[in-house]
Structure 1
Amino acid sequence: MTETKLIVFVKQPEIGKVKTRLAKDIGDKKALEVYKKLLQKTADIIEESQWPTFVYYKDQVGKNDYFSFPWVIKKTQSNGDLGKKMLDAFVEVKEETEANKIIIIGSDCYDLSLQHLEKASKKLDDSDVVIGPSNDGGYYLLGLKSINDELFSGIEWSTPEVLDKTIEKCKSLGLKIDFIEQLIDIDTLEDLNSINQGSL
Structure 2
Amino acid sequence: MKSRNDELLIIFSKNPVAGRVKTRLASAIGDAEALRIYEQLRELTKQATTGINASKAIAYSDFIPNTDLLLAPDTEAWLQQGSDLGERMHRAFVKGFSLGFSRVALIGTDCPELSPFILDLAFRKLDACDVVLGPARDGGFYLAALKQPFPELFLGRTWSTSSVLNDSQRIIREHGRSCDLLPALSDIDTFDDLRASGLWTP
TM range (shorter): over 0.9
Moved more, 72-81 or 41-50: 41-50
Distance 2:84 2:156 in 1: 11
Tell me how far apart the structure 1 counterparts of residues 6 and 134 of structure 2 sit (CA, whole Å): 20
Gaps of 5+ in 2: none
SS in 2 for 1:49: coil
Task: From the superposition, tell whether residues 56 and 199 of structure 1 become closer, same or farther in structure 2 (CA, over 3 Å).
Answer: farther
Q: Percent identity of the aligned residues? A: 37
Residue deviations 1:73-105 (CA, integer Å, cap 9, x gap): 101000211110000000011101x21111000
Cα distance, 1:93–1:39 mapped onto 2, change above 3 Å: same
Correspondence for 1:88: 91
Partner SS, residue 44 of structure 1: helix
TM-score under structure 1 length normalisation: 0.94
| 1:167 Cα deviation after fit | 0.4
Matches within 5 A, 1:130-141: 130-141=132-143
Give the alignment partner of residue 11 of structure 1, picking from 11, 14, 18.
14
Give me the TM-score of the superposition, normalised by structure 2: 0.93
The RMSD of aligned alpha carbons is 1.6
* CA contact 2:10–2:59 (8 Å) conserved in 1: yes
Q: Which runs of 5+ in 1 are unaligned?
A: none
Q: Count how many residue pairs are aligned between Structure 1 and Structure 2.
A: 199
Matches of residues 1-200 of structure 1 in structure 2 within 5 Å?
2-49=5-52, 51-96=54-99, 98-196=100-198
Indicate conservation of the 8 Å contact 2:111/2:186, yes or no: yes
Q: Following TM superposition, where does structure 1 have runs of at least 4 consecutive aligned residues deviating by more than 3 angstroms?
A: 196-200
Looking at structure 2, the residues matched to 80 and 15 of structure 1 have their Cα atoms a distance apart, in angstroms, of 22
Report how far residue 197 of structure 1 moved: 5.4
Distance 1:91 1:19 in 2: 27
Change (3 A) 1:145 1:136: same
- Amino acid in structure 1 at the alignment position of 2:57: F
